Structure 1
Amino acid sequence: MMNTFTAEHTPAEIVKVFPKASDLFKKRRIDFCCGGDKPLEQVFTKGNMDATTVLTELNTAYENWEKDDNEVTDWDAIPASELIDHIVYSHHAYLNEELPALGQFVTKIFRVHGAKHPHLKDLHRLYNEFKLEMEEHMVKEESEVFPLIKEYEKNPSDKLLSHIHEVNGGLEDEHEAAGDLLKQIREITNDFEPPVDACNSYRITYARLSDMESDTFQHVHLENNVLFKSL
């Protein structure tokens, strides 16, 4: 087997080529969005991971995936305006619908099972913090930053680009804060593994939290590592 990916590659680079690598990275708690620009070599050292094991798993998965003739969108080749529309109508739309709906489940299991499972109090707090952070963040992107980027695509100028960088200054910090909240949620839910006595609502909540994490990481990856890097 030829090693397509090495320890010199960054998680962000790998996910661009091989989107399903995000599943492996999530399983091993390797950041591919907010901190995805660090070479795997640094990640392995910091996380005390066996590089050979992870790279073998990654390259084997990629080899099998390639055999299935999967088509990958080359996001780097997509105009910024099209990428923005994809982010808004796919990822933002998903969160705008899912955040309040899932919040009801988080509140329900906390109210019903919180006495027996104290970590649900922390889950309730972290989730609502994440919800507020992302709702405010998406409004800022859609009302301020994204229109500026679309205007720059049509009428580029150094002045407008400087303004975009200025307005965009805090977005990546907000991404990192949201990513940290998701990591804490994953930790206190034992990697979204419900307890053996969990009811259906409990299990549904954990499954939807896992789906939300996946979508948000892909969402942030497209913004941090593709859209913002193109400016």
Structure 2
Amino acid sequence: MNIKDRNNTIGAVVAELPKATEIFKEYGIDYCCGGHRLLADVLKEQNIYEDEVYDKLQQAEEERRNLYSGEGNNFKEMSPEVLSAYIEDTHHSYLRKALPEIAELLSIVLRAHGKNHKELFDVYRLFGQLKADLEQHLLKEETLVFPIVGEAEENLKEIKDLTHEIITEHEAAGEVLRELRSITKDYQLPEDACKTFEKAYEKLEELEQDLHQHIHLENNILLIQYSDR
């Protein structure tokens, strides 16, 4: 891949160069739900100096070529069955542990600080919505999508319909994440924040990062060929 090709989508760049996620985070570029968009268009839309971003991507690509030792996960080379198993073992397992933990932390923080920080009610509401949506989303993937994604020729219409549903749900989750970041002012802690408050925001940011990678693997690698984007 020519990293500086203006016809590259964001998702294609990340699929080829995983370190690009760090660069895109730095500039606030959505690489999961927005992975189908052309990078050049997003840079122009967000008024980002494109030469700076492309130079950083090129440098990361050169470092990858020079230092790559064959270790680590090459997600593009994984079969659909192996990648599905990886997503379930890594990201689904993480969510099943993190979602109830964060819910409990936010409940404690809201009771202790809600009177002085009313934005916490919106944080609690949005997270509750995200938690409920993700819990059914994981079951849908594990029950309906993952078992047939490696047999697409036999189930082409079904996998295409499911892909549309999955990506739509990813976009909804991405919007909630953006709202949470906006309400919390990028998870900025107030002066009177306690350790539990700090841990809750830390865990929300960790959740955001994990979901971005999770969604990227599905939208831009596992299901890309069945998407109508």
Structure 1 residues 69 and 148 mapped into 2: Cα distance closer, same or farther (>3 Å)? Answer: closer
Match of 1:77 in 2: 77
CA contact (8 A) 2:3 2:57 kept: no
Normalised TM-score (structure 2): 0.88
Number of corresponding residues: 224
Deviation string for 1:150-191 (max 9, x for gaps)? 4x16xx43xx21122223331110010001111111122222
Q: How does 1:112-131 map to 2 (within 5 A)?
A: 112-131=112-131
Stretch of structure 1 that moved more, 4-13 or 213-222: 4-13
Query: Tell me, what secondary structure is at the counterpart of 1:170?
Result: helix
Shift of 1:65: 5.7
Structure 1 residues 46 and 143 mapped into 2: Cα distance closer, same or farther (>3 Å)? Answer: same
Relative contact order (alpha carbons < 8 A, sep ≥ 6): 1 or 2 greater?
2
Query: Tell me, what secondary structure is at the counterpart of 1:147?
Result: coil
Structure 1 residues 147 and 4 mapped into 2: Cα distance closer, same or farther (>3 Å)? Answer: closer
Shift of 1:64: 4.8
CA contact (8 A) 2:9 2:35 kept: yes
Match of 1:191 in 2: 186
Unaligned runs of 5+ in 2: none
Deviation string for 1:101-153 (max 9, x for gaps)? 11111121122112222211111111111111110111111111211224x16
Match of 2:51 in 1: 52
Q: Of residues 206, 211, 217 in structure 1, which corresponds to 2:212? A: 217
Quote the Cα distance in structure 1 between the aligned partners of 2:117 and 2:16. 41
Stretch of structure 1 that moved more, 72-81 or 5-14: 5-14
Unaligned runs of 5+ in 1: none
CA RMSD, Structure 1 to Structure 2 (Å): 2.1
CA contact (8 A) 2:11 2:216 kept: yes
Q: Which runs of 4+ in 1 moved over 6 A?
A: none
- Is 1:161 matched with 2:156? yes
Deviation string for 1:57-102 (max 9, x for gaps)? 4444554565553645332221111111001111101101110011
Match of 1:98 in 2: 98
Residue identity opposite 1:173 in structure 2: T
Structure 1 residues 79 and 69 mapped into 2: Cα distance closer, same or farther (>3 Å)? Answer: closer
Residue identity opposite 1:32 in structure 2: Y
Match of 1:138 in 2: 138
Quote the Cα distance in structure 2 between the aligned partners of 1:204 and 1:112. 14
